[in-house]
Amino acid sequence: MVLRNHSCSPIHLILLYFCISAFASLADDTISGNRALSGNQTLVSTGDNFVLGFFKPGKSPRHYIGIWYNKVPKQTVVWVANRETPVSDPNSAKLLISAGNLVLINELGAQIWSTAVNQTSSVNSSLAAVLRDDGNLVLSDGSGSGSNPRSGRVLWQSLDNPVHTWLPGGKLSYDKITKEKQLLTSWKNAEDPAMGLFSLELDPNGSRYLIKWNRSQGYWTSGAWNGHIFSLVPEMRLNYIYNFSYVNNENETYFTYSLYNPTIISRFIMDVSGQIKQLSWVNGDWNLFWTQPREQCQVHDYCGGFGSCQNALPFCSCLPGFRVRNQSDWDLNDYLGGCVREMSLQCNGNGTGSNGRGDRFWSVSDVKLPVNEKQLTVGSVGECESSCFNDCSCTAYAYEEGRGCLVWNGELVNLQRLNEGDGNGKVIHIRLSASSQVFSASNNSKGSMIGIVVGCVGVGLVIVAVVVGLIWRRRRRAVGNSKAVEGSLVAFAYKDLQNATKNFSDKLGGGGFGSVFKGTLPDSTVIAAKKLESITQGEKQFRTEVSTIGTIQHVNLVRLRGFCSEGSKKLLVYDYMENGSLDSHLFYANETKFLDWETRYQIALGIARGLSYLHEKCRDCIIHCDIKPENILLDPEFCPKVADFGLAKLMGRDFSRVLTTMRGTRGYLAPEWISGVAITAKADVYSYGMMLFELVSGRRNSENSENGTVKFFPSWAANAIVNGGDVLVLLDPVLDRNADEEQVLKICKIACWCIQDDENTRPSMGQVVQILEGLMDVNVPPIPRSLQVFVESQEHIVFFTDSSCTDQSSQAKSNTSSASTNSKNSALSSKG
Ligand SMILES: *[C@@H]1O[C@H](CO)[C@@H](O)[C@H](O)[C@H]1NC(C)=O
Ligand SMILES: *[C@@H]1O[C@H](CO)[C@@H](O)[C@H](O)[C@H]1NC(C)=O
Ligand SMILES: *[C@@H]1O[C@H](CO)[C@@H](O)[C@H](O)[C@H]1NC(C)=O
Ligand SMILES: *[C@@H]1O[C@H](CO)[C@@H](O)[C@H](O)[C@H]1NC(C)=O
Ligand SMILES: *[C@@H]1O[C@H](CO)[C@@H](O)[C@H](O)[C@H]1NC(C)=O
Ligand SMILES: *[C@@H]1O[C@H](CO)[C@@H](O)[C@H](O)[C@H]1NC(C)=O
Ligand SMILES: *[C@@H]1O[C@H](CO)[C@@H](O)[C@H](O)[C@H]1NC(C)=O
Ligand SMILES: *[C@@H]1O[C@H](CO)[C@@H](O)[C@H](O)[C@H]1NC(C)=O
Ligand SMILES: *[C@@H]1O[C@H](CO)[C@@H](O)[C@H](O)[C@H]1NC(C)=O
């Protein structure tokens, strides 16, 4: 047996050949006999797919034995041996066969990990641990044929002992004889593979999988296996990459999957975010294309006690009057520790707090209430408040029409902040010490949004302000005055934007990338400043990307005026658009104020022109990746302007996280995301098509109707235009059939072409412009396959894709050749 040093790793085939020939008759994928693996030695599987050796996660000083991909440059660990018991010096630690097991001995000579196989009769020398090319580490004996360990009896294998990754070929089973379950468990955080609180396990009674918190509180289920798919995962129907099977025999029950195309590198993980994710390695990055639960805040206790969750970055913050318990955990995205009080409760003060003693309630509105409430039968809000006040263990109360008085004892868990004006928002009154900062910071004891801003932002603000002040002073010296010009863009000083936006007080909206604030520059220009959250890019790259975005100018694209980049403070400054975003006019319109048909048609055309410019006409062409009504802004003349273009590239990998957590986004993502193939401009065409349907109907495609059943508008519309008939019934009711019937039909046909499953069948944005301008005619489209699926599974409208638009894939690869023929399978037919 031979262990191979990194110095011999197969970067070049020649080197590889050298390695193999140097140790001719020996396999470097095997540990056997008396030899041990130590230091930087590794095992490499025969097909070069996987490596086993010591690794160190992130900045952690701890070392672990793990298996990672050999062909993925970004070290991605799929299995860890000693997840709870790291070693500090891998050079004096050893992985070896001992007493019938594969064991890990640390620097002090103590055994800290073992395969723990209970067997008495085997001889050490005939045992071998082989790293197979599917990532499975197999311990077997020589009982198979002669002394060849590869054909021996399998005593233990890593696929049966998963950590957080479920590789193709692996299974998560329930053993009916021993009644034991295999679990997929999250790491504690990105730098600590120790067992975290989130786990995925099989519920054999329901033949379904559950995600649980601390193995007790379930917060997601796959639904029962119905013979083809898990009932609550309808997107499995559309799958054409994975070969799924569910096995249930007298010994065990499990689900397993494999890849039809084994060259695809794909993994399924229980992530530290408490979500399960399927990722594929595409174009030099991990591409996320499926995750559950979809929204971060659906993960039980994600933000810990007294934390508050929102489905946009940053996901977790502390409630007013509370601060982060452990900042270093928090910085590693481990929020489970939650928040602690800034001022401890008085409880026995028995006063109103006017003299700074006793407790008071701080009200927070637009929230989803925490779990584990108790219902009290009291008559009024006042009684509810005093019941809570008089009980020292009561930490909050809420009074709801219908349910009456609700109170909470102990930590508040799963409180979620909703958007202002969200119809489901509730008000909660949280017990704080009357001398808490929040009361002195604002005289408004009713709190509401201001309460949240002051509470959550304000806590950090004092500290931040001091730090920013220091940094800014230092910067100021370097930059000179607050503004410098970079190309046509203004580099704003943070301080100036703070002043312009009155310390970010007028929030226009919040999205996945961060919040947008209205501001006024000293020359009275009105601006919209977008505060970007968690940019992973370096300074230089950020500036390069921003100046690229800055050079892209078109009447249908929102103009970037400038930016701010001071350390982690990254903002983009845009022209302010008076008429807000398209969604507000479409979905929240009233009888008197709505977009007439002519305006809608012009909006459709304007957006198409803007996108066509982005895809085909500008120098550094870009794919938008996030086309939806929220990203279409309207100027005073209702001329549409596409916003947020270029952000996919700017945000890098975080973009995928954002996409998967934003509400509504999933309805606009094209099905090719699921295949993990490179994304082209046709993904934007798909989203544009989905948006056209909404422009016609005036409601969200995925909206539920009153009786709880779902009618997926695009399916309905596609059937209507293919089968002929009255298209005006598709129209937004507020228009009262006031529209050009031919235009409505044309737009519906275009929309249906745009959402074809095969991206080559979709028209380019340039072709869409031509059709809308009347230069080209449009054929009757076929009904997309995916829409047929939705007709079948009406009860679960869960869109089948969540994915990322990575650096690599956001570069436009426009495919204009395909749809230009005048065939039956093309959107176009020439005019006249
Ligand atoms: C591996 O470790 C040996 C001894 O500690 C060292 O000489 C060698 O440079 C290391 N190789 C690599 C690739 O780090
Ligand atoms: C197996 O290995 C253990 C530990 O290295 C040793 O104590 C034992 O004697 C070995 N047994 C045989 C049969 O070689
Ligand atoms: C190992 O086997 C022995 C004898 O068969 C048995 O007494 C012991 O309980 C077993 N240990 C475990 C952990 O199963
Ligand atoms: C299955 O259900 C039965 C009865 O409800 C229960 O006793 C048993 O523990 C369940 N099994 C598992 C593995 O949850
Ligand atoms: C998880 O559950 C165990 C008991 O099963 C309990 O002791 C532990 O405190 C729980 N962990 C947390 C973080 O609540
Ligand atoms: C799918 O998997 C099953 C068993 O897991 C196997 O028998 C079958 O051949 C596979 N099908 C394809 C097309 O790979
Ligand atoms: C169940 O286990 C028994 C005993 O190990 C074995 O003989 C049988 O073949 C197993 N059944 C299946 C379906 O694997
Ligand atoms: C935060 O948690 C880490 C372990 O997760 C611990 O090492 C550290 O001491 C904690 N810090 C504080 C201030 O409690
Ligand atoms: C408040 O004062 C009353 C009477 O003085 C007393 O009965 C009650 O227990 C006090 N409440 C608390 C929370 O201490």
Domains of the chain, residue spans? 26-161, 171-294, 307-435, 436-470, 483-574, 582-830
Q: Which single residue is written with the structure tokens 């034995």?
A: 65
Q: In this structure, are residues 526 and 517 in contact, taking their beta carbons and an 8 Å threshold?
A: no
Residue 558: its pLDDT value, please? 92
Residue by residue, DSSP assigns 532-600 as E----S-HHHHHHHHHHHHH---TTBPPEEEEEEETTEEEEEEE--TT-BHHHHHHS--SSS---HHHH
Residue with the nearest Cα to atom 8 of ligand 7? 251
Q: 632 or 826: whose pLDDT is higher?
A: 632
pLDDT tops 70 at residue 697 = yes
- Ligand 9 centroid to Cα of residue 272, in Å, is 45
pTM of the model: 0.62
Q: Which of the residue ranges 27-31, 211-215, 615-619 would you say has the lowest mean pLDDT?
A: 615-619
> Taking Cα atoms as reference points, which of 573, 576, 550, 574 lies closest to residue 482?
573
The closest-lying atom of ligand 1 relative to the alpha carbon of residue 6 is 13
Each residue of 378-415: pLDDT tens digit? 888 999 998 898 888 899 999 988 889 999 999 999 99
Q: Quickly state the pLDDT bin for 322 (edges 50, 70, 90).
A: very high
Q: Residue 660, SS3?
A: helix
Each residue of 103-120: pLDDT tens digit? 999 989 999 999 998 766
Q: Is the CB of 392 under 6 A from ligand 9?
A: yes
Catalytic residue among 285, 334, 626, 644: 626
Q: What angle (nearest 5°) sits at the alpha carbon of residue 766, between those of residues 765 and 772?
A: 85
Average pLDDT, the chain: 79
Q: Is the CB of 40 under 6 A from ligand 9?
A: no
Q: How many percent of the chain have pLDDT more than 70? A: 75
Residue 98: its pLDDT value, please? 86
SS (H, E, C) 675-738: HCCCCCCHHHHHHHHHHHHHHHHCCCCCCECCCCCECCHHHHHHHHHHCCCCHHHHCCHHHCCC
Q: 235 or 319: whose pLDDT is higher?
A: 319
Strand order in the sheet with 154-157: 30-32, 128-131, 137-140, 154-157
pLDDT tops 70 at residue 449 = no
- What fold is seen in the domain 307-435? Hepatocyte Growth Factor (3.50.4)
Q: 11 or 129: whose pLDDT is higher?
A: 129
- Ligand 4 centroid to Cα of residue 253, in Å, is 14
CATH architecture of 483-574: 2-Layer Sandwich (3.30)
Distance CA 508, CA 517 (A): 5
Each residue of 181-197: pLDDT tens digit? 999 999 999 899 999 99
Residues with CB under 6 A from ligand 8: 326, 328-329
Residue 176, marked binder: no
Each residue of 58-70: pLDDT tens digit? 888 999 999 999 9
Q: Is 65 exposed, middle or buried (0-12, 13-18, 19+ CB in 10 A)?
A: buried
Q: Quickly state the pLDDT bin for 825 (edges 50, 70, 90).
A: low
Residue 720: its pLDDT value, please? 85
Each residue of 479-489: pLDDT tens digit? 334 454 445 78
Residue 418: its pLDDT value, please? 86
pLDDT tops 60 at residue 812 = no
Residue 39: its pLDDT value, please? 93
Q: Is the CB of 243 under 6 A from ligand 6?
A: yes
Q: Which of the residue ranges 25-39, 542-556, 667-681, 715-729 would you say has the lowest mean pLDDT?
A: 667-681
pLDDT tops 50 at residue 468 = no
Q: 783 or 90: whose pLDDT is higher?
A: 90
pLDDT tops 70 at residue 252 = yes
Residue with the nearest Cα to atom 10 of ligand 9? 350
Token pair listed for 389: 């006040």
285 counts as catalytic: no
Residue 789: its pLDDT value, please? 54
**Of all helices (H) and strands (E), which one includes residue 276?**
strand 276-282
pLDDT tops 90 at residue 798 = no
pLDDT tops 70 at residue 773 = yes
Q: Is the CB of 262 under 6 A from ligand 6?
A: no
- What fold is seen in the domain 26-161? Agglutinin, subunit A (2.90.10)
Average pLDDT of the residues in 172-187: 94
Distance CA 21, CA 9 (A): 13
Token pair listed for 10: 């197969």
Residue 515: its pLDDT value, please? 85
Q: In this structure, are residues 345 and 354 in contact, taking their beta carbons and an 8 Å threshold?
A: no
Token pair listed for 781: 């489209």
Residue with the nearest Cα to atom 3 of ligand 9? 350
The class (CATH top level) of 582-830 is: mainly alpha
Residue 800: its pLDDT value, please? 30
Q: Quickly state the pLDDT bin for 232 (edges 50, 70, 90).
A: confident
Each residue of 514-548: pLDDT tens digit? 789 999 998 888 999 998 876 666 777 788 888 88
> Taking Cα atoms as reference points, which of 812, 494, 492 lies closest to residue 648?
812
Alpha-carbon distances of 328 from 191, 331, 476, 533, 535, rounded to whole Å = 12, 5, 30, 18, 19
The closest-lying atom of ligand 6 relative to the alpha carbon of residue 243 is 1
Average pLDDT of the residues in 257-283: 88
Alpha-carbon distances of 377 from 119, 310, 368, rounded to whole Å = 62, 31, 21
Backbone phi and psi for residue 529, each to the nearest 5 degrees, phi listed first: -105, 125
Residues with CB under 6 A from ligand 2: 98-99, 123-124
**Of all helices (H) and strands (E), which one includes residue 470?**
helix 458-479
Q: In this structure, are residues 687 and 693 in contact, taking their beta carbons and an 8 Å threshold?
A: no
Highest mean pLDDT among 236-250, 461-475, 699-713 belongs to: 236-250
Backbone phi and psi for residue 154, each to the nearest 5 degrees, phi listed first: -75, 120
Average pLDDT of the residues in 733-750: 93
Highest mean pLDDT among 80-84, 448-452, 795-799 belongs to: 80-84
Percent helix / strand / coil, the chain, rounded to 5: 25, 30, 45
Distance CA 635, CA 817 (A): 34
Please name which ligand lies nearest the alpha carbon of 346. 9
Q: Is the CB of 204 under 6 A from ligand 4?
A: yes
